[in-house]
Amino acid sequence: MSVELITFVFQSIFIRVLLIDDTIWFIASDIAKALGYKDLAQAVNQHCKEAKSLIYIDQLNKLVQENQELRALDPKTKIIPESDFYRISLKTRKTESETLINYVSKTVIPKIHKRNQKAPTTVPDNIVTYGGVQFLRYEEEYEVRKGKIDTLAFYTKRDSGESGMSLQSLANGCGIALKSLRNLLEEKNIDFFLEGGAKQGNSSADSLITKAKEGATKPADFYLIKTPAIHVVLDIYCERIFRYYAYESRYKNSVHDKNYP
């Protein structure tokens, strides 16, 4: 049995999809969240007939333990098949329902099928190797904010399915300067790493500059890939940063409207 975790972005919300062999399963809480339900667990229990716990993938939990990103999830995390996705979507009258159904049926599912067809013949240029680990680089166009479409670069570890986004793409998606995003990471005391210019006699691996407290080791939240887009942020932080800037934007607009009628 093969298990792959693929992440999509829907209106700044991450939709995680598990591809178990050739079957598509959704992380149930992601779907409920995207649909605007307040009580995610209640919505899943009420409207989904075939929801199963993550442990269902493998009774011995072997495959889950081998996949670093899945290992970070609670084994009791609920997953739902396509039939339950449509079932829970149609049960709500919220405007997000039709938009999400269109997005999943016209974007998510076709891209997964297309990805599978192309997987055996991946273009070598899309594979980046860092520290002996292979990453697959791919680009997708997303409407990161209403009326604004950006091409975002994603990276996925081939062995674990762990995925992230380049810092430059994240800055583009938030509509801010790369420098501003770096300043935010420093302000929030989030460690990240820069690839410094190689000094004479040093390998590029030795020339890494650590933007972290003295004595700190490389955090699990970020990993570095040797590519022009050298900063890669894991998905869990991408969503938080997207939401942070979405809030900041709304706040600034409301203040502007209040002070300048």
Q: Which pLDDT tens digit goes with each residue over 77-104?
A: 899 999 999 999 988 877 778 899 989 9
Which three-class secondary structure state does DSSP give residue 127? strand
Q: What is the mean pLDDT of residues 238-258?
A: 55
The Cα–Cα gap between 151 and 177 comes to 15
73 pLDDT higher than 80: no
The alpha carbon torsion through 249, 222, 6, 15 (nearest 10 deg) reads: -30
Tens of pLDDT along 204-218?
Answer: 333 333 333 334 343
Give percent of the chain with pLDDT exceeding 70.
44
Q: What local confidence, expressed as pLDDT, does residue 192 receive?
A: 47
140-155: pLDDT as tens digits: 666 655 666 666 666 6
Is the pLDDT at 119 greater than 50? The verdict is: no
Residue 85 sits at φ, ψ, to 5 deg, of: -60, -50
User: What span, in angstroms and rounded, lies between the C-alpha atoms of 248 and 235?
Assistant: 20
Higher pLDDT, 248 or 168: 168
At residue 111 the predicted structure's pLDDT band, cuts being 50, 70 and 90, is: confident
Long-range pairs for 40-46: beta carbons < 8 A, 24 or more residues apart:
41/78, 43/88, 44/78, 44/80, 44/88, 46/91
